[in-house]
């Protein structure tokens, strides 16, 4: 077999080499479009939960863009031969942590989130080191149950945003719902009735249309944009960092779940783009890279990192695995992150636009969980594991104070009563271990 042509049109289907600009630029931009909403929205959601100022929100968006760029570059170009997967993936700030981050932010503050994030990053690194032995605890049934619960727990957030944002003067007003429904309609139509860049960028385009509709309705405030700098480096430790054991345990469990999700994303990438399963070294490196970037990000006010499933989907469809394509996407995000003016402009997006765009994302997360659960059929055993895990996880968090009565230490409510994901994860693991396996019927 001859040496590959590293300068020909087939370079995009190879790991190394530099594709032609006519291929490199659009393929790189494709990944930016697919990822950008997922990068900026968690920062907006968490900063609103913690009651941060507009300047602090701008900083978090800026850091989110920079961290996503650096995390992606780490996955493309591993360091020390072990940290980073060396695979074509986009890694950045993730929606999957939001329910737990909001629960911690509501009960404590941003400083506690960042402290828990550092501990969670350490958990991810340990998971990566021992991935071969820990992985059997998380078959598709357990992982699917957790992802399903994450999706369910995000719905109230999306609806509150669609209504204009809880506690705002426009909450529940007709104009808030008009903007949200227009945004949702555009996303729905483009997702289901178009192809190519319009389908891929459906959420981004929907937000742009919703933003335009918001302008004449007086829902956009540009007051903070004028005072923002054009270029600036992120600040080191812009927030205090506090370690609250109960919060650290809660987020640590979610990090384990997301490490399992990373295994799934890396496996989908290699199967879809390289026709093979990832090696143990690649899986370990990818998860350890996730942990390292989360720890680093915490010192700059960033949020936890994870692989982006939407970008994995692009790889499985077009089979483009050239790392230069992903590196270009990362560099574009890095440049955007170094411009506070751009980050500040993103903070002007009305909450109703964010809600209208993200409810479809949350629905997709939920359905991803269902798809994993029903893989190979839906059996009575699966029904027991999923049903009881979700019932306890979602039910406990919907009844405020049910774990805060006399006799319960305060940490019990923080760990188990504030995030449905934690309880659902633990229950799914335990039930999957104790319930007898079903015999294959063939």
Digit-coded pLDDT (tens) for 238-253: 899 999 998 998 899 8
Q: What digits encode the pLDDT tens for the residues 200-238?
A: 678 778 888 999 999 998 888 777 777 777 888 888 988
Which span out of 26-30, 115-119, 193-197, 365-369 was modeled with the highest average pLDDT? 115-119
- Structure confidence at residue 9 (pLDDT): 58
- Structure confidence at residue 399 (pLDDT): 81
Give how far the C-alpha of residue 397 lies from the chain's centroid of Cα atoms, to the nearest Å: 21
Task: Please give the mean pLDDT across all residues of the chain.
Answer: 84
Closest residue by Cα to residue 310 from 89, 150, 25: 89
- Structure confidence at residue 2 (pLDDT): 39
Q: Report which secondary-structure segment, H or E, holds 297.
A: helix 280-298
- Structure confidence at residue 70 (pLDDT): 95
Confidence of residue 303 (pLDDT cuts 50, 70, 90): very high
Closest residue by Cα to residue 298 from 229, 247, 224, 225: 247
Q: What is the average pLDDT across 360-378?
A: 83
Does 39 or 268 have the greater pLDDT score? 39
Q: What is the average pLDDT across 142-148?
A: 84
Angle (CA) 424 124 272, round 5°: 85
Query: Taking every pair of C-alpha atoms in the chain, what is the biggest distance, in angstroms?
Result: 74
Q: Phi, psi (5° rounding) for residue 93? A: -60, 135
Give the count of alpha carbons within 13 A of 68, CB side only: 37
The model's pTM: 0.78
Closest residue by Cα to residue 99 from 422, 364, 371, 428: 422
Q: Is pLDDT at 379 greater than 60 in this prediction?
A: yes
- Structure confidence at residue 126 (pLDDT): 94
What are the structure tokens assigned to 390, written together? Answer: 């979700």
Closest residue by Cα to residue 422 from 221, 258, 183: 258
Angle (CA) 74 67 15, round 5°: 30
Q: What digits encode the pLDDT tens for the residues 247-284?
A: 998 899 889 888 887 887 888 788 777 888 788 899 99
Q: Is pLDDT at 149 greater than 50 in this prediction?
A: yes
Q: What is the average pLDDT across 382-387?
A: 93
DSSP letters for 277-294 = PPPHHHHHHHHHHHHHHH
- Structure confidence at residue 440 (pLDDT): 52
- Structure confidence at residue 178 (pLDDT): 94
What are the structure tokens assigned to 74, written together? Answer: 């780490």
Share of residues in the chain with pLDDT > 90 (%): 28
Q: What is the average pLDDT across 140-146?
A: 85
Q: Which letter, b or e, does each residue of 251-288 get, where b requires 16 or more Cβ atoms within 10 Å of its Cβ?
A: bbbbbbbbbbbbbbbbbbbbebbbeeebeeebbbbbbb
Least confident range of 57-66, 118-127, 148-157, 224-233: 224-233
Q: What digits encode the pLDDT tens for the residues 341-359?
A: 877 887 788 889 888 888 8
Q: How far apart are CA 51 and CA 33, in angstroms?
A: 28
Closest residue by Cα to residue 203 from 359, 18, 413, 429: 359
Q: What digits encode the pLDDT tens for the residues 170-201?
A: 888 999 999 999 999 998 998 888 877 677 67
Token pair 């020390």: residue? 80
- Structure confidence at residue 184 (pLDDT): 93
- Structure confidence at residue 378 (pLDDT): 86
């Amino acid at each position: 077999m001859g040496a590959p042509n590293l300068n020909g049109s087939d370079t995009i289907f190879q790991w190394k080499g530099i594709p032609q600009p006519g291929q490199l630029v659009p393929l790189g931009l494709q990944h930016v479009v697919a990822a950008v909403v997922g990068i900026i929205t968690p920062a907006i959601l968490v900063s609103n939960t913690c009651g941060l100022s507009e300047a602090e929100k701008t900083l978090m968006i800026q850091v989110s863009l920079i961290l996503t760029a650096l995390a992606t570059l780490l996955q493309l170009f591993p360091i020390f031969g072990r940290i980073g997967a060396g695979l074509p993936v986009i890694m950045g700030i993730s929606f999957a942590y939001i329910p737990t981050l909001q629960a911690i932010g509501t009960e404590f503050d941003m400083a506690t989130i960042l402290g828990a994030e550092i501990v969670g990053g350490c958990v991810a690194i340990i998971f990566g080191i021992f991935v071969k032995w820990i992985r059997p605890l998380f078959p598709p049934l357990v992982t699917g149950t957790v992802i399903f619960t994450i999706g369910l727990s995000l719905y109230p957030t999306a609806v509150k945003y669609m209504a204009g944002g809880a506690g705002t003067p426009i909450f529940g007003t007709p104009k808030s719902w008009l903007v949200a429904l227009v945004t949702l309609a555009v996303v729905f139509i483009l997702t289901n009735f178009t192809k190519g860049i319009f389908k891929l960028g459906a959420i981004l385009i929907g937000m742009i249309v919703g933003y335009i509709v918001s302008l004449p309705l007086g829902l956009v405030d540009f007051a903070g944009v004028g005072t923002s700098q054009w270029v600036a480096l992120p600040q080191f430790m812009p927030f205090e960092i506090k370690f609250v054991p109960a919060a650290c345990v809660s987020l640590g469990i979610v990090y384990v779940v997301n490490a399992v999700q990373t295994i799934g994303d890396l496996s989908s990438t290699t199967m879809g783009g390289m026709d093979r399963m990832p090696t143990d070294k690649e899986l370990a490196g990818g998860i350890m890279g996730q942990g390292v970037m989360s720890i680093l990000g915490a010192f700059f006010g960033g949020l936890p990192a994870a692989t982006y499933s939407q970008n994995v989907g692009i790889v499985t469809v077009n089979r483009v695995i050239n790392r230069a394509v992903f590196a270009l996407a990362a560099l574009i995000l890095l440049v955007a992150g170094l411009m506070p003016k751009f980050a500040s402009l993103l903070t002007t997006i009305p909450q109703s636009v964010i809600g209208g765009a993200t409810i479809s994302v949350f629905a997709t997360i939920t359905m991803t969980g269902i798809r994993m659960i029903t893989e190979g059929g839906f059996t009575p055993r699966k029904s027991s594991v999923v049903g009881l895990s979700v019932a306890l996880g979602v039910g406990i968090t919907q009844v405020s104070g049910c774990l805060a009565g006399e006799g319960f230490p305060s940490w019990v409510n923080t760990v188990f009563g504030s995030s449905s994901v934690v309880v659902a994860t633990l229950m799914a693991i335990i039930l999957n271990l104790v319930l007898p396996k079903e015999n294959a019927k063939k």
